[in-house]
Amino acid sequence: MGLHTPLFDDHLSLNARMVPFGGWDMPLHYGSQLDEHLAVRARAGMFDVSHMRAVDVTGDGARDFLRRLLANDVARLQEPGKALYSCMLNPDGGVLDDLIVYFLGADGYRVVVNAATTDTDLAWMQAQADATLNLRPRADLAMIAIQGPAARELTARHLPAALAAPALALKPFYAASGAAVGAGDWFVARTGYTGEDGFEILLPADQASALWRALAADGVVPCGLGARDTLRLEAGMNLYGQDMDATVTPLDSGLGWTIAWEPADRDFIGRNALTVQRAAGTFSPFVGLLLTGRGVLRGHQPVLVRGQEAGTVTSGGYGPTLERSIALARLRPGTRLDLGETCAVEIRGKPVAARRVAPPFARQGAIRIDLD
């Protein structure tokens, strides 16, 4: 038996199909993964993401600590509530986790890490910290993501009254803290993992069920891990453990844009290894694929370029918005596969035609690639 989020009983009451994920028992779907995916693209769906962990980083050295810990630079966060996406690396440049960090102003920072890596992330962070820092895992908080074109409007009416207006005024990748407006531990971020607009809400665990049920009564569709995965794949978003891990760098994973190279004297963990890799040009091309033949793309399938095995699918599946099979793939260093160029993916021992495209495949309810 895995760990249970505060919404476990709500999932059972909705007849969710529960599966193990990162040490937790989580809903895969509530009857139809396809319907859940399309509900997010068309209106609004919600996900229990309470298995992810918020870690509050406070103390006089919090800023300098995170500037060394992360490949992106938290010095870019000048306004309270502003968020930053980054990878946390080992000395070899391998990705220990990808995460979001929020600037809380004088109160420090909030880092949200992935469920499967929570324990190792905390151990790594604590090993890099000194006695001036306080790392506080927020196991007292639940987390619900509400995503879709109507998500913000539908959610705002169920927020604490003092938080509704600040939440609706948020720009993308900003958050509003309930502590600033007398709403306690509520924390609303205009972020997500689906390619749609919406909120990710942290709130006291004992209040999560009431919010979940109120949103469901308002027509927000409960969604499971299955729809979350197809939505993020269509949006061209990496999944830790599939598209990147500790054996590959951000440069190998299409995440070079998350590395803050300037200022040159910021010595973040993994910088030396990335500098050598970038100078040598030995990183792997990370590409999007559209299957043009018959079949379904899946992780670990070989990619064939000009008849030779040249890489591997990292994430693949059926994209309901496109009604086509799509994938993210990592090619061998030095492999050239231009946009629009055809290749093949080996499916059940046979090459099936595919074409390189530029992710995202679909976002904001619209297809973003040429299907012809």
Please write the tens of the pLDDT for every residue from 220-230: 999 999 999 99
Give the pLDDT score at 131. 87
Give the pLDDT score at 180. 85
Give the pLDDT score at 352. 98
Model's pTM, two decimal places?
0.97
Give the pLDDT score at 156. 97
Which residues in the chain are classed under CATH 2.40.30.110? 284-372
Which residues in the chain are classed under CATH 3.30.1360.120? 1-282
Give the pLDDT score at 1. 78
Give the pLDDT score at 102. 98
Annotation: CATH topology of 1-282? Gyrase A; domain 2 (3.30.1360)
Classify domain 284-372 by CATH architecture: Beta Barrel (2.40)
Distance CA 57, CA 234 (A): 33
For the chain, 372 residues long, the average pLDDT of each consecutive 10-residue run is 95 98 97 98 98 97 97 97 98 98 96 97 97 96 98 98 97 95 93 98 98 98 98 98 98 98 98 98 97 97 97 98 98 97 98 98 95 90
Give the pLDDT score at 234. 98
Over residues 129-178, the pLDDT tens digits come to: 998 899 999 999 999 999 999 999 999 999 999 999 999 999 999 999 99
Give the pLDDT score at 183. 86
Give the pLDDT score at 268. 98
